[in-house]
Copies of this chain bind each other. A is one copy, B any other.
Amino acid sequence: MPLSPEAEAEIARLRATPRPTLRSVSEGMEAHLYRPIPVLDHGFLRVVDYMGDDAAIVQAARVSYGAGTRAARDDTGLIRYLMRHWHSTPFEMCEIKLHVKLPVFVARQWIRHRTANVNEYSARYSILDREFYIPAPEHLAAQSASNAQGRGTPLGADEAARVLHWLKDDAARAYDHYQAMLSTDGQQGLARELARMNLPMNTYTQWYWKTDLHNLFHFLRLRADAHAQHEIRAYAEALCGVVRDWVPAAWGAFADYRLGGATLSAQAVAALKRRLAGETVTEETSGMTRGEWREFLAAWG
Check A188–B119 contact: CB distance below 8 A.
no
Check A166–B191 contact: CB distance below 8 A.
no
Check A49–B64 contact: CB distance below 8 A.
no
Contacts of A167 in B (CB 8 A): 197-198
Given contacts A126-B68, A173-B170, A208-B63, are A264 and B266 in contact (CB under 8 A)?
Answer: no
A25 touches which one: B19, B192, B262 (CB < 8 A)?
B19
Of chain B, the residue at the smallest CB distance from A118 is B89
Question: Interface range on chain A: under 10, 10 to 19, 20 to 34, or 35 or more?
Answer: 35 or more
How many Å from the CB of A261 to the closest CB on chain B?
Answer: 5
Roughly how many angstroms separate A33 CA and B163 CA in the complex, as a whole number?
43
Copies in the complex: 4
Check A265–B261 contact: CB distance below 8 A.
yes
A145-156 CB mask vs B (1 if < 8 Å, else 0) is 000111111011
Contacts of A166 in B (CB 8 A): 177, 180-181, 198
Check A142–B191 contact: CB distance below 8 A.
yes
Check A255–B261 contact: CB distance below 8 A.
no
Of chain B, the residue at the smallest CB distance from A78 is B291
Roughly how many angstroms separate A139 CA and B52 CA in the complex, as a whole number?
39
- A42 within 8 A of partner (CB): no
A122 touches which one: B52, B73, B149 (CB < 8 A)?
B149
Check B256–A265 contact: CB distance below 8 A.
yes
- A207 within 8 A of partner (CB): yes
Of chain B, the residue at the smallest CB distance from A277 is B301
Check A265–B84 contact: CB distance below 8 A.
yes
**Interface hits, A70-128 → B, CB 8 Å:** 72-73, 77, 80-81, 84-86, 89-90, 92-93, 95, 97, 99, 103-105, 107-108, 111-112, 114-115, 117-122, 124-126
Contacts of A63 in B (CB 8 A): 99, 119-121, 206-208
Contacts of A246 in B (CB 8 A): none
How many Å from the CB of A169 to the closest CB on chain B?
Answer: 8
How many Å from the CB of A6 to the closest CB on chain B?
Answer: 12
Q: Residues of A at under 8 Å CB distance from B? A: 14-15, 17-25, 30, 33-34, 49-52, 56, 59-61, 63-69, 72-73, 77, 80-81, 84-86, 89-90, 92-93, 95, 97, 99, 103-105, 107-108, 111-112, 114-115, 117-122, 124-126, 133, 135, 139-144, 148-153, 155-156, 159, 162-163, 166-167, 170-171, 173-174, 177, 180-182, 184, 187-194, 196-203, 206-208, 210, 212, 221-222, 227, 229, 255-257, 259-269, 272-273, 275-276, 289, 291-292, 295, 300-301
7 inter-chain pairs at a CB distance below 8 angstroms, sorted by A residue, are A23-B33, A49-B56, A63-B121, A92-B117, A105-B197, A152-B191, A198-B200
Given A77-B289, A256-B266: 5 more A-B contacts, CB < 8 Å: A68-B125, A89-B118, A95-B95, A105-B196, A142-B189
